[in-house]
Amino acid sequence: MRPLLGCSWGCCLLLLLSLEAQGGPDYPSAVPEQVHLSYPGEPGCMTVTWTTWAPARSEVQFGTQGSGPLPLRAQGVASAFVDGGILRRKLYIHRVTLRRLLPGVQYVYRCGSAQGWSRRFRFRALKNGVHWSPRLAVFGDLGADNPKALPRLRRDTQQGMYDAILHVGDFAYNMDQDNGRVGDRFMRVIEPVAANLPYMTCPGNHEQRYNFSNYKARFSMPGDNEGLWYSWDIGPAHIISFSTEVYFFLHYGHHLVQEQFRWLERDLQKANANRVARPWIITMGHRPMYCSNADLDDCTRHESKVRKGLRGKLYGLEDLFHKYGVDLELWAHEHSYERLWPIYNYQVFNGSRETPYTNPRGPVHIITGSAGCEERLTPFSIFPRPWSALRVKEYGYTRLHILNGTHIHIQQVSDDQDGKIVDDVWVVRPLLDRMMYR
């Protein structure tokens, strides 16, 4: 900023405030901000994404030494993103994919160009193959305001507790808000987590403005579908991310419901062909099929759209996921935590009464949308349903430890209770015959 000679204090302050209101420095900066990682679905790779306000080259410098020079280089591309708000703010989104990373090795990196570099971040390259035990943090509905789970997630991340994050829709509240500035603020707020761990996403209802353009532009998910639906493998698990929003915002494209459904079926067929090697199939989508919250959301209806499809019969997901033996379904949208007994078509299919999640005879659903946002928590209906196993109306997030091909450990962390574990279950399925629930 130029020195403001002859300007009184009040006037200076006013000027500063108005610059602040413009949401950036007084000239477009090429210094990277909003740095975050994602896994592009190819072993040995990691994608770095960041934002600048002026066009610039896209480079990542990286290495395995904690300090000193960063000997490795990778280049990528920037694309201009114009937000749909009246100011038509323009962001440059940079994407660089690092390749030939050594599995399980820790890297240090910085991103940017000669016009400005980020600070250094570190991450651990994902291990290859199926014989290791990934640890994930899972949550949805995290806002730029009231992001209750973030401080603890940040500490967990610093301690190297996770291999990846799954954010099950609803970001920032909302990324498009205030001409995209709320999105900028959110991406800065999550940087201490997302610049050090692959941050994997699916779209939620809060991303819908301008046809999900802020979601598509700001994240870099695997595949060529702008992150609306995709799948990837981590250790013994195949993870499918999809959009429940195609069932609700039909004016953006009726065809999307059918396209996604067909893709899901093909992907599930492929995953089942490889199921002996990689037994777990885990889905993540924003709006649940079932929930017992005290509101009027889709999941409170007996024939919810996500479960039974359009007009109660077209492209419903419960039959599809059951048919292909999906093990675990992760949801959010309700700002609370709810675990269901293994379920299909409103019937509980416990493995046994003593150990319901050992050899369950239907998929297990977890609804985890209480990471914290300005809308606060969602209450539950007074009477729990017979299919509801546990309900927690507290801020928090879920830890998922995929121990091996037969054992998954699920824990719910309460931020209201200073990190106390308020749910703790193991899901155990046999190695073979995973597709058939009987």
Ligand X SMILES: *[C@@H]1O[C@H](CO)[C@@H](O)[C@H](O)[C@H]1NC(C)=O
Residues that bind ligand X in the complex, under the rule CB under 6 A: 211, 226, 252-253, 341, 348, 350, 353, 356, 403-407, 431
Residue 253 or 379: the one with the smaller Cβ distance to ligand X is: 253
Residue 154 CB neighbours (<10 A): 16
Tokens of 56: 């610039």
Residues 6+ apart with CB under 8 A from 2: 26
User: Least separation, in Å, of the C-beta of 347 and ligand X?
Assistant: 8
Residues 6+ apart with CB under 8 A from 290: 299, 304, 307, 340, 343, 365, 385, 387
Cα Rg, the chain, nearest whole Å: 22
User: Least separation, in Å, of the C-beta of 255 and ligand X?
Assistant: 7
Tokens of 383: 């009477």
Residue 341 or 380: the one with the smaller Cβ distance to ligand X is: 341
User: Least separation, in Å, of the C-beta of 130 and ligand X?
Assistant: 10
Judge contact between 74 and 62, C-beta under 8 A.
Answer: yes
Buried b (16+ CB within 10 A) or exposed e, 2-36: eeeeeeeeeeeeeeeeeeeeeebeeeebbbbbbbb
Residue 38 or 350: the one with the smaller Cβ distance to ligand X is: 350
Residue 193 or 271: the one with the smaller Cβ distance to ligand X is: 271
Angle formed at CA 393 by CA 389 and CA 395, multiple of 5 degrees:
120
User: Least separation, in Å, of the C-beta of 57 and ligand X?
Assistant: 28
How many angstroms separate the CA atoms of 199 and 431, rounded? 29
How many angstroms separate the CA atoms of 301 and 294, rounded? 11
Terminal-to-terminal C-alpha distance of the chain: 69
User: Least separation, in Å, of the C-beta of 371 and ligand X?
Assistant: 26
Residue 152 or 216: the one with the smaller Cβ distance to ligand X is: 216
User: Least separation, in Å, of the C-beta of 252 and ligand X?
Assistant: 4
Residue 154 or 409: the one with the smaller Cβ distance to ligand X is: 409
Q: Is 387 left (phi over 0), alpha (psi -120 to 50) or beta?
A: alpha
Residue 157 or 243: the one with the smaller Cβ distance to ligand X is: 243
User: Least separation, in Å, of the C-beta of 386 and ligand X?
Assistant: 7
User: Least separation, in Å, of the C-beta of 381 and ligand X?
Assistant: 18
Residue 117 or 252: the one with the smaller Cβ distance to ligand X is: 252
How many angstroms separate the CA atoms of 388 and 221, rounded? 32
